[in-house]
Amino acid sequence: MSARTLAGSTGAAQATVLGIGAYRPARVVPNAELVDAIDSSDEWIQQRSGIRTRRFAGPEESVQMMSVAAAREALAHAGIDAGQVDGVIVATVSHMMQTPAIAPAIAHELGCDQPVAFDISAACAGFCHGVGLAADMVRGGSAHHVLVIGVERLTDILDRSDRGTAFIFADGAGAVVVGPSDTPGIGPVVWGSDGEQFDYIRQTQDWRDVMTSDSPTMPALTMQGAAVFRWASFAMAKVGLEALDRAGVTVDDLDCFVPHQANMRITDAMARSMKLPASVRIARDVADQGNTSAASVPLALHRMVQEGDARSGDLALLIAFGAGLAYAAQVVVVP
Ligand code: COA
């Protein structure tokens, strides 16, 4: 045994969200545009999902372009220069290169100075994983200011003829800057996964199957909708309550509830299970934005901030869940 000891690392006393930004693609797509291909109707889609319109990205609205736009707004809101950012975490499942990750390219375009930059693959739960990681990095001393970006161009992996997914998924980007603070602005993360249900939401084929197929087709998202619905509506309410408990607050202290924008009925079922008081303002971005997977929580919080439903200093419960099945939740102070 060596007698030598290593220097430990210590960071800021606490971490907080300093700023938020978003990018919504220009093209608004109403249900009417999708229904013929899936033998559906505007009424059915609204009743089952709460979705009226969503945004689909155009050719120029790439994963990188949307990320940079959202990140620039978050940096400006935080009053932080790109040069001060020493960590960039990108949560996405729709960056179309297996390697390298998109985070270093985004960081470079933003003008960050050689930050640690990597992607995380936790699907719809990815943004809340990123916030949990970023807070630990700031408190642990491995970074000072971390950009967390949730971004998706799900239309690249969407089967427009699949009745269970074509009307749900959409495109966009949201970002926050996580940095140091004296008081806690990000509560303890409650996260985990249920790999027994690994195939509830998945890509139709893996890349080797595609490459060895006689008639290769682009893999698409596929989902066991009813099973996901049951899991999300019941199991996730417990995770949300645990995040409140770990943060030392109750539903009565909460100002805003910002769940993953999967489906309005899931949001309502969670709010009922958690017995949220009527005073808690609930994010309902899914109605006009669809389900943007890793981008959905920051997009939803951004809309609440913009519309005055979330004010600086408010307590917001963030919770995200999806393929894996992976989930993460934390209480944050709204920047
Ligand atoms: N349009 C019209 N009718 C449809 C349809 C569509 N897009 N998809 C299915 N149906 C019909 C079915 O044919 C069936 O008809 P039947 O009763 O005459 O046989 C009926 O609707 C019920 O089908 P089912 O597949 O059981 O649908 P559902 O009630 O489970 O609703 C979802 C489908 C996708 C809306 C629902 O499962 C859901 O919201 N799941 C959660 C999805 C989600 O939010 N995932 C994101 C998690 S990250």
pLDDT tens for each residue of 57-84: 999 999 999 999 999 999 999 999 999 9
SS3 153: strand
Average pLDDT over residues 168-174: 98
Instruction: Tell me how far apart the alpha carbons of residues 5 and 9 are, in angstroms, rounded to a whole number.
Output: 13
Residue 5 lies in a domain: no
> Any alpha helices (H) in 178-258, and if so which ranges?
207-212, 225-247
- pLDDT band of residue 175 (cuts 50, 70, 90) is very high
- Is residue 50 predicted with pLDDT exceeding 90? yes
> What pLDDT is attached to residue 3?
77
- pLDDT band of residue 303 (cuts 50, 70, 90) is very high
Lowest mean pLDDT among 115-119, 204-208, 248-252: 204-208
Average pLDDT over residues 208-224: 92
Average pLDDT over residues 305-334: 97
Question: Final residue of a domain: which of 156, 181, 206?
Answer: 181
52 lines ligand 1 (CB under 6 A): no
Shared-domain flag, residues 268 and 225: yes
Residue 107 lies in a domain: yes
Average pLDDT over residues 167-176: 98
> What pLDDT is attached to residue 1?
59
The protein residue whose alpha carbon is closest to atom 29 in ligand 1 is 226
Residue 154 lies in a domain: yes
Q: Which of 300, 327, 180, 307 is nearest to 242 (CA)?
A: 327
Shared-domain flag, residues 124 and 21: yes
CATH number assigned to the domain comprising residue 105? 3.40.47.10
Index of the ligand 1 atom closest to the CA of residue 265: 39
The Å distance, Cα 129 to ligand 1 centre, comes to 28
| 254, amino acid identity | L
Residue 4 lies in a domain: no
Average pLDDT over residues 213-218: 90
Shared-domain flag, residues 259 and 140: no
Shared-domain flag, residues 43 and 164: yes
- Is residue 149 predicted with pLDDT exceeding 80? yes
Shared-domain flag, residues 173 and 238: no
Residue 145 lies in a domain: yes
Helix, strand, coil abundance in the chain, percent, nearest 5? 40, 25, 35
Shared-domain flag, residues 260 and 162: no
Please count the other Cβ atoms lying within 10 Å of the Cβ belonging to residue 184: 18
Shared-domain flag, residues 195 and 112: no
Question: Final residue of a domain: which of 181, 215, 232?
Answer: 181
Index of the ligand 1 atom closest to the CA of residue 166: 7
How many domains does the structure of the chain reveal? 2
44 lines ligand 1 (CB under 6 A): yes
Index of the ligand 1 atom closest to the CA of residue 124: 48
Shared-domain flag, residues 159 and 209: no
Owning domain of residue 167: 14-181
Give pLDDT tens digits for 223-250. 999 999 999 988 999 999 999 999 999 9
Q: 260 catalytic, yes or no?
A: yes
Q: 263 catalytic, yes or no?
A: no
Question: Final residue of a domain: which of 163, 181, 199?
Answer: 181
- Is residue 221 predicted with pLDDT exceeding 90? yes
Shared-domain flag, residues 166 and 204: no
- Which residue out of 112, 124, 128, 256 is catalytically annotated? 124
The protein residue whose alpha carbon is closest to atom 8 in ligand 1 is 163
Residue 3 lies in a domain: no
Shared-domain flag, residues 242 and 93: no
Residue 218 lies in a domain: yes
Please count the other Cβ atoms lying within 10 Å of the Cβ belonging to residue 49: 21
For 258, the enclosing helix (H) or strand (E) is strand 256-259
Q: 291 catalytic, yes or no?
A: yes
227 lines ligand 1 (CB under 6 A): no
Residue 7 lies in a domain: no
Summary mean pLDDT of the chain:
96
Shared-domain flag, residues 196 and 115: no
> What pLDDT is attached to residue 154?
97
Instruction: Tell me how far apart the alpha carbons of residues 244 and 189 are, in angstroms, rounded to a whole number.
Output: 10
Give pLDDT tens digits for 128-137. 999 999 999 9
Of 34, 152, 161, 163, the residue with max ligand 1 atoms within 8 A of its CB, to mutate for a pocket test, comes to 163
Shared-domain flag, residues 79 and 132: yes
